[in-house]
A = this chain, B = another copy of it.
């Protein structure tokens, strides 16, 4: 039940640096020189050679003195939000052992939450850092799109892909983040919008569970002003993102799928096929919705403001769900996570409350490029 690594090893970092003494793990989508990047699928691993160099994000952490302790389980080729992998197993969610850990960066979140390392790298295209952060009670962040270099990281949908990270402690989280974004924590956001529609969309008890954390966030930023985050509806945004992301994912993986005819969980195969079947005529309207979403978030975060919302609409669902319930859980998560990949804004997840004994995080969306202001929130979160 403590499974989270696909491979454990030790790769020392620089002798000195801001991260000296810290250990980290990396999702098995990041290249480590001399090792095969397995991507959570046995046929991917079998059809690719060992990496020639370390991924840029890994190298940054090593150069800053952190030590790499292994590669972690991921949903197959990063397609999944629940953290279920039928080949490698579903990692433990130590905060709620009968529930999924969230994904696709499932093993990274699990390893950090279990205390097996101080921090971990994940990827976030549609929610793959934010969801396991929320479900496992961790700090996690999806940086501004393009902010942290993705060289040596397996792409899924390059227009939305980001390299993110997890930690249990805010100070460690901010220190690792400062290395990854190459900027020290800055002043916290100057204003706060509370996403009334997102809190209303969340499941029973979530808004109440997050209320103390929201009050703390207000104390660190400014009194919250309630507003609609997504006037056309989260379903509209999520549909646009799903259209664009899965079409890109098929462009990424289709040639490999068509050449190798690999094995997948039925769930993953179905997701890929949805991408393969995207009508070209669906893309232009989805791009218009994306333009409007980007405009809306730029408006709400103007002047360095931030937006608070539940990181996930519900706590983690149980392990071993039937397909229809997996679909339902994923659709609800997508509804309020799709905006990350759609707009490219940075999103921080703060450990916040519990519902039925399972964690739910508070998400804070920052202005594009204002990643350093979000780091400040994490750094001071436990002491504010």
Contact = CB atoms under 8 A, between A and B. Distances in A.
Given A86-B43, A273-B270, A273-B273, A323 B259 contact: yes
B86 A263 contact: yes
Interface residues of A, number: 22
Given A270-B269, A270-B273, A261 B87 contact: no
B87 A259 contact: no
B323 A258 contact: yes
B263 A264 contact: yes
Given A262-B265, A266-B269, A266-B272, A257 B86 contact: no
A323 B257 contact: yes
A1 interface: no
Main secondary structure of the interface of A (DSSP, over half): helix
A284 B220 CA distance: 65
A261 B269 contact: no
Interface string A251-277: 000000111011111110110110000
A100 to B, nearest CB: 12
Interface of A: 43, 84, 86-87, 257-259, 261-267, 269-270, 272-273, 322-324, 326
Top 9 A-B residue pairs of the complex, sorted by shortest distance between their CB atoms = A269-B269, A258-B323, A86-B263, A259-B322, A261-B323, A266-B269, A261-B267, A263-B265, A261-B266
A86 B261 CA distance: 9
Nearest to A326: B261
Contacts of A324: 258
Given A263-B263, A264-B264, 13 more contacts: A43-B86, A84-B261, A86-B261, A86-B263, A261-B323, A261-B326, A262-B265, A262-B266, A263-B266, A264-B266, A264-B269, A269-B269, A269-B270
A261 B265 CA distance: 7
B43 A261 contact: no
18 contacts: A43-B86, A86-B263, A87-B263, A259-B322, A259-B323, A261-B267, A261-B323, A262-B265, A262-B266, A263-B263, A263-B265, A263-B266, A264-B264, A264-B269, A266-B269, A269-B269, A269-B270, A273-B273
A367 B322 CA distance: 45
A177 B325 CA distance: 47
Contacts of A263: 86-87, 263-266
